[in-house]
Structure 1
Amino acid sequence: MNLPDEPETRTQINIVPMVDVIFAVLIFFMVSSLYLTRSQQSLPVNLPTGTTGEESGPTQNTLTVVMQREGGLFLGTQPTTLDALPEAIQVRRVGTQTVVVVIRADTQVPHGQVVAVMDRLRSIPGVQIGIAIQPPSLEPSL
C-alpha cells in the first residue's frame, strides 16, 4: 500500500502578536512612569490661585518644600523642621549648582509661617525661591 507523501509544512514564527504585546507593555510603563513622577513631586495641598504664574518644569536642581494647613513642614515627602531645613537642603544639593526651592504652601497656612520658611531659605547660599500656585480654573463664565 502506497500512501501519498504529505508535503512538509515549514513552521513559521508569527511575530505580530509578540510586537503587539511589547508595545502594550511599553505603553503601560510609559504611563506608569508619568504617574509616578507626578505623584512623587509633593504632598497634596490646597494651593492659592494666581493668574501671573510662570510654568516651570521639574529639573534636577529643584526641591519642594510643602507647608500643610495642620502645620506640617516637608522637604519633598520627608518631614522636617524649620531648624533642620537648611541642613536637609544642603544634603540633597548636587555639587555647587544653584538649587531652586519651590514652596507649596496651603492657602490656610499663616503668612508669618511662609515668611519664616522663606527667610530660612534665603540664608542658604545658592538657593533661589519659588512659590507654587494653582492656575485659575478654565470653566466658561456664564
Structure 2
Amino acid sequence: MAAGGLDEDDEITGINITPMVDIILVLLVIFMVTTTTINQIEGMEVDKPDAASGKNLGELPQSIVLVCRGEDEFAIDGEPVAGDSAEAVDSQIAAAIKARVAQNPELQGIVNCDTKAQVGAMVHLIDLLRENGVTKYAIATEPPPRAEG
C-alpha cells in the first residue's frame, strides 16, 4: 500500500466539486450565447406612447408627423400628399423624410393613423421612416374617454 493512498475501509471525507464547477461554467456559457442570440433577432421595435400619458405633438419640435386617413390618403405635417399612384406618394413622403433627416439626424417620426386606416398603411409608413434614416418613431394615440359618473 502507498503511504498517502486510501484504504478500502477508509471514509471519504472530502467532496470533489470540480465536476459541479465544470457543469456550472458550461451552463453559464450556454446562457451567455443564448442571450446574445435572442437580442440580435431583427424585429420592428415600436415606441408606443401610453395613451393616458402621451405627449402633445406641439411638445416635439424635432419630429415629422405622417398621417394616414382611410385608404390612400396621406399627409406630412398636416399637408396632404397628392399623387397619381402609390409609388408617387411614397416618393414624395420619402423625399420629405430625407430632407428633414438632412436637417436633423435625431429626427423622430410620428405615425398618426385614424381608425379607418388599414394596419398595412401604418406599417408601410413606419417602413418608409426606417428606410430613410429615422431611427426613433412613435404611434400617435388619443387619451381614452373619461367614464361618466
Q: TM-score, normalised by structure 1?
A: 0.55
Counterpart for residue 124 of structure 1: 132
Task: Indicate the larger mover: 100-109 or 78-87.
Answer: 78-87
The residue number in structure 2 matching 1:86 is 94
- In the alignment, which residue of structure 1 is the partner of 2:118? 110
Aligned Cα root-mean-square deviation (Å): 2.4
Structure 1: which amino acid aligns with 2:126? M
Partner residue, 2:31? none
Computing the radius of gyration over CA atoms, which structure comes out larger, 1 or 2?
A: 2
Give the count of matched residue pairs.
Answer: 92
Aligned-residue sequence identity (percent) comes to: 18
Compared CA separation, residues 52 and 60, structure 1 to 2 (3 A): closer
Determine the C-alpha separation between the residues in 1 that align with 2:101 and 2:129: 13
Query: What is the CA-CA distance between 1:107 and the residue it aligns to?
Result: 0.6
Identify, as 1 or 2, the structure richer in helix: 2
Counterpart in 2 of 1:5?
A: none
Q: Does 1:137 align with 2:145?
A: yes
Q: Runs of 5+ in structure 1 lacking a partner?
A: 1-49
Alignment of 1:1-142 (within 5 A): 52-53=50-51, 54-57=53-56, 58-80=59-81, 81-93=89-101, 95-140=103-148
Structure 2 unpaired stretches of 5+:
1-47, 82-88
Q: 1:52 to 1:95 in 2, by over 3 A?
A: closer
Change (3 A) 1:70 1:95: closer
TM-score between both structures, scaled by the size of structure 2: 0.53
